[in-house]
Amino acid sequence: MDKNRIERRRFMHYSAGAALAASTGAAFGVNAERQAGPEDCVANTVTSQTDVLVVGGGTAGIIAAIQAARAGATTLLMERGSQLGGTTTTAGVSFPGLFDAWGKQIIAGIGWELVRESVALDGGKLPDFSKVPRHHWQNQVRVNQFLYAILAEEKCAEAGVDIACYEFPQAISATAGGWQVDCAGFGTQRRVFCKQLVDCTGGASVVGMLNLPRLREQETQPGSMLFKLAEPNQPGRPNGPGSGLLDSLYVHGADSSNSRTVTAANLQGRKAILEKVRTEKRRLMHLQLETGFRESYRIEGETMVTVEDYTSGRLFEDAVCYAFYPVDLHTRDGVKPKPLAEGVVPTIPLRALIPRNSRNIIVAGRSVSSDRLANSGLRVQAPCMAMGQAAGAAAALAAQSGITPLHVPLEELRALLQAHGAILPG
């Protein structure tokens, strides 16, 4: 390796280290050695007081947290994994859609801001939404998954969102003013007192912990593990993975419900890829850290979006955003997307984000209250982001007024969303 490269590496290493030292209050070069005692094995106990706790820092959760914080609520974003972005980043589904329908942009706001800025920083190109594409996927936006995750962190920091990675709720109980949420992480026990909960876990885990009603199919859609293979290593051949597009293989039975089912899906996906490498004698150049999960639990909300509502483009009176995608149900035989009829643009009502008979909790993302076929279209990323923004705004307003999200005045919610760039149906 040439000397310049080594120097550069050292420089980068030291800069990151110095920043970390500054942020933790530690300083390199100071000998703080001491004998480890039993207290080193006990998790540090932390208490957080916040207006809004968003659980799940994925596609919807990032946007919910930024919106809540920008609306003036103190906000904590809790993510069980190592980074933000969820399915968009950790599972590598880095082609969010659909922000447009029939020649017009229908979803904007904070999700679009993040997508647009990450494309610009990456030197990429946005689709031309004034053109109706032949195939729906042609207007999905390609983002750089690595950059997207870092930009999401930056935007959270700018908005004042606190991020707690590697943590998840373990027990939740109602308090006079909201919730007490006891959380665990490695080396950390956190007790959160919050006024409002936003469940953006994908599979409505928080709603499940509260014993609120959820729906689930006997057989769910397969998940997918994304990867990239390349030709065998040969002297004189370039080493790169070739085209930027990733391949994927189905992981049947993939279930995002808990650590055991996620572990099983990841092991199954990776095993299949190892077999592929062996049989095709190609090189593994890229592998996502986690399986992408299409389906698990959906909430039973104050209302439910049916496939008839979806395919007819029903305009709900409490609609908080649009959605647009074919009905897109994956089975063991693959998928045959059913496009929406010309001119149809479905909407998502606030009540589909609110678990039935609940107080002080709202969801956003693929667990939106919907029947299975409607959900197969609603679950894509642009609507998840728009739902996230609506949920974050409703939670912030509810926290400010000491009410539950169902009782937030619609005009106030709509005005707040509009002020933050969202496009509202009607």
Ligand X SMILES: Cc1cc2nc3c(=O)[nH]c(=O)nc-3n(C[C@H](O)[C@H](O)[C@H](O)COP(=O)(O)OP(=O)(O)OC[C@H]3O[C@@H](n4cnc5c(N)ncnc54)[C@H](O)[C@@H]3O)c2cc1C
- Judged by beta carbon, residue 338 or residue 403, the one nearer ligand X is 338
| Contact code string over 198-217 relative to ligand X, x by CB under 6 A | --xxx--x------------
CB of 290 to ligand X, least distance (A): 8
CB of 13 to ligand X, least distance (A): 28
Q: Taking contact as CB under 6 A, which single stretch among the options 118-126, 194-202, 212-220, 351-359 is the one that binds ligand X?
A: 194-202
Structure tokens at 201: 């876990």
**Chain CA centroid to CA 286, Å:** 21
- Judged by beta carbon, residue 250 or residue 317, the one nearer ligand X is 250
313 near ligand X, judged by CB under 6 A: no
The residue within the footprint of ligand X, chosen from 67, 145, 224, 376 (CB under 6 A), is 224
Complete edge-to-edge strand list for the sheet that includes strand 283-287: 247-251, 223-230, 283-287
C-alpha 352/C-alpha 26 separation (Å) is: 47
CB of 355 to ligand X, least distance (A): 15
55 near ligand X, judged by CB under 6 A: yes
Structure tokens at 53: 């706790």
Tell me how long the chain is: 426
SS3 160: coil
| Contact code string over 87-126 relative to ligand X, x by CB under 6 A | xx--x-x-xxx-----------------------------
Closest among 75, 87, 54 to 167, alpha carbons compared? 54
> Which strand (E) or helix (H) includes residue 215?
strand 214-215
Instruction: List strand residue ranges (DSSP E) for 222-360, in order.
Output: 223-230, 247-251, 283-287, 298-299, 319-322, 330-331, 334-335, 347-349
Given a contact cutoff of 8 angstroms between Cβ atoms, the answer to whether 362 and 58 are in contact is no
CB of 279 to ligand X, least distance (A): 23
Given a contact cutoff of 8 angstroms between Cβ atoms, the answer to whether 229 and 284 are in contact is yes
370 near ligand X, judged by CB under 6 A: no
The residue within the footprint of ligand X, chosen from 136, 214, 294, 298 (CB under 6 A), is 294
Given a contact cutoff of 8 angstroms between Cβ atoms, the answer to whether 318 and 405 are in contact is no
- Judged by beta carbon, residue 93 or residue 307, the one nearer ligand X is 93
| Contact code string over 66-85 relative to ligand X, x by CB under 6 A | ------------xxxx----
Given a contact cutoff of 8 angstroms between Cβ atoms, the answer to whether 371 and 306 are in contact is yes
CB of 178 to ligand X, least distance (A): 18
Residues of this chain, 140-159, that bind ligand X according to CB under 6 A:
140
Given a contact cutoff of 8 angstroms between Cβ atoms, the answer to whether 383 and 97 are in contact is no
Instruction: Give me the residues that bind ligand X (CB under 6 A), please.
Output: 55-61, 78-81, 86-88, 91, 93, 95-97, 140, 168, 200-202, 205, 223-224, 292-294, 365-366, 379-381, 384
